Amino acid sequence: MNSDVIAKDEQQGDEWAFICKVADLPRNDIGTAKHPGGRLDLAIYQLDGEIYVTSDRCTHGAASLSEEGEQQGHIVECAWHNGRFDVRTGEALTMPCRTPLPFFDAKVIDGDIYINPKPKRFKKPE
Ligand code: FES
């Protein structure tokens, strides 16, 4: 598959866009890439053989989670004020963070990471 082309998943009707290769991710650290739209930085997490992708910007301030965050399991903690998010859903887990991180469906094909470019937001069950 051409890595620069946005591929359409015929069965789901979803679009998938290449963001980077798994081999380019740092070991034991949070990776980063540009959103295919070009304006948003992404944070890329590896957890139990899965890839999770969120916006790189903490929703409390402007901290870069890939540069200043620390991942422990499914939680990323922002170094600026210790707010925590669930990397799988973007859910804001601790104050001062209230707003969830936008997150993206991701899949790996032949070592290439693709995302659905449409962001998702965690919603608390009512
Ligand atoms: S900027 Fe991330 S917790 Fe404040």
Q: How does pLDDT run across 35-80, given as a tens digit for each residue?
A: 998 888 999 999 999 999 999 999 999 899 999 999 999 999 999 9
Best mutation site among 64, 66, 97 for ligand 1, i.e. most ligand atoms within 8 A of its Cβ? Answer: 97
pLDDT for res 6: 58
Question: Does residue 123 fall inside a structural domain?
Answer: no
- Domain extent for 56: 7-115
Question: Does residue 70 fall inside a structural domain?
Answer: yes
| Cα 50 to ligand 1 centroid, rounded to whole Å | 25
Question: Does residue 120 fall inside a structural domain?
Answer: no
Here the contacts of 6-15 (C-beta below 8 Å, separation 24 or greater) are 6/36, 6/117, 7/114, 14/105, 14/116, 15/116, 15/117, 15/118
Q: How does pLDDT run across 87-117, given as a tens digit for each residue?
A: 999 999 999 999 999 999 999 999 999 999 9
Confidence band of 1 (pLDDT split at 50, 70, 90): very low
The residue ranking higher by pLDDT, 103 or 9, is 103
CATH number at residue 75: 2.102.10.10
